[in-house]
Amino acid sequence: MKDTTDAGLRDPTVENRRQRFLGKTCLVTGGSRGLGLTAAQAFAREGARVIIIARDPGRLKTASDLIGDGTIAVTADLSSSAGIKVAVTEVAARVDHVDAAFLNAGQAGVKRLDDMDEATWDMVFDTNVKGSFFLVQGLRPLLAPGGAVVFCGPAAGRRDGTGTVAHGTSKAALEHLTRILAAEVIGEGIRVNIVIPGGMNTDITARTAGLPSDGAEAFRERVRLSTPMLGEGEPDELADAVLFLASSEAGYITGAALPVDGGASGFTRPPT
């Protein structure tokens, strides 16, 4: 189990000494809540000018206030070509380059085989795969040499599970897309990688799967017990991985997948 004593908590004075993104521009999609917001705040703490993109203008305003002065908030639906064009046009009007992009926006669409419908399938793939690809295409002229793109591909793309046919398949496609795009832009000095979060301590299960609170908690408990480290990850732990891959510290890493899942995608916890 994780250390929850004071000794196991972050020391903000240590964090404040790290300024890997001072003077850099970092973009986060799905940046108005959850993992995206946590990553955006982490970029800002390390000196970045932050751009967040999400669909809800109210949540974007709240998130901007949390991230801090200078945050650029862009309202756009990244599941459609029209929405992506809006986002890219506004970003290009506000900044002349982007040093790092964490493409975190996604949809789950949790339904089993017999319940899956075309509208849900298209919603998931339009956001998770099509939206990710065409946003990179649109942002490519702004991506600075030496910059980085980091996708977010939850463990559903690697592990079988009922009800995840659209979500898991789309995230597996996103992991493969990571390698293809890494090859395509390597000559421009741009790196492309993906983080693979496992169960995280956020409200994403209830929000994206449409589960009632008791059902969502039961699901989270099953995830906790099936994870070798017997717990959920904290959003800050994923943000650490995102910032590492986006920074010069990962300058020799591209086309890679970094699991942040307590060992879930690697092995089964041995019996005690």
Nearest Cα to 49, choosing from 74, 29, 69, 75?
69
* Residue scoring higher pLDDT (127 or 59): 59
Residue 126 pLDDT more than 90? no
Residue 268 pLDDT more than 80? no
Residue at 9 is within a domain: no
Note the pLDDT of residue 19: 93
User: Stretch 226-255: mean pLDDT, rounded?
Assistant: 89
Residue 272 pLDDT more than 80? no
Note the pLDDT of residue 228: 67
| 72-75: strand order across its sheet | 72-75, 49-54, 25-29, 98-103, 143-152, 191-197, 257-260
Residue 175 pLDDT more than 60? yes
Nearest Cα to 176, choosing from 250, 237, 256?
256
Note the pLDDT of residue 9: 43
Which domain covers residue 240, as residue numbers?
A: 15-198+233-256
Note the pLDDT of residue 206: 53
Residue at 5 is within a domain: no
Note the pLDDT tens digit of each residue in 64-83. 999 999 999 999 999 999 99
The alpha carbon of residue 118 and the mean position of all alpha carbons in its chain are separated, in whole angstroms, by 25
Q: In whole angstroms, give the CA distance from residue 103 to residue 117.
A: 26
- Number of domains observed in the structure of the chain: 1
Reported confidence tier of residue 247, pLDDT bands at 50, 70, 90: very high
Residue at 268 is within a domain: no
Contact 99, 51 (CB under 8 A): no
Q: Which residues contact 72 (CB under 8 A, 6 or more apart)?
A: 49, 50, 51, 52, 91, 94, 95
Q: In whole angstroms, give the CA distance from residue 226 to residue 269.
A: 8
Residue spans of beta strands (DSSP E) within 200-270 = 257-260
Residue at 215 is within a domain: no
What pairing do the DSSP bridges indicate for beta strands 49-54 and 98-103? unpaired
Residue at 206 is within a domain: no
Q: Would you call 256 helix, strand, or coil by DSSP?
A: coil
* Residue scoring higher pLDDT (49 or 4): 49
Note the pLDDT of residue 165: 82
Residue at 87 is within a domain: yes
Least confident of 33-37, 102-106, 143-147: 102-106
Residue 145 pLDDT more than 90? yes
Residue at 99 is within a domain: yes
Nearest Cα to 232, choosing from 27, 62, 6, 34?
34
Note the pLDDT of residue 216: 63
Q: Which residues contact 199 (CB under 8 A, 6 or more apart)?
A: 155, 220, 223, 224, 227, 232, 233, 261, 262, 264
Reported confidence tier of residue 234, pLDDT bands at 50, 70, 90: confident
Residue at 145 is within a domain: yes
Note the pLDDT of residue 169: 86
Note the pLDDT of residue 116: 83
Note the pLDDT of residue 199: 78
Question: Three-class SS string for 135-194?
Answer: HHHHHHHHEEEEEEEEEECCHHHCCCCCCEHHHHHHHHHHHHHHHHHHHHHHHHCCEEEE
Residue 222 pLDDT more than 80? no
> Which residue is it, tokens 């041995």?
270
- CATH code at 22? 3.40.50.720
Reported confidence tier of residue 198, pLDDT bands at 50, 70, 90: confident
Reported confidence tier of residue 217, pLDDT bands at 50, 70, 90: low
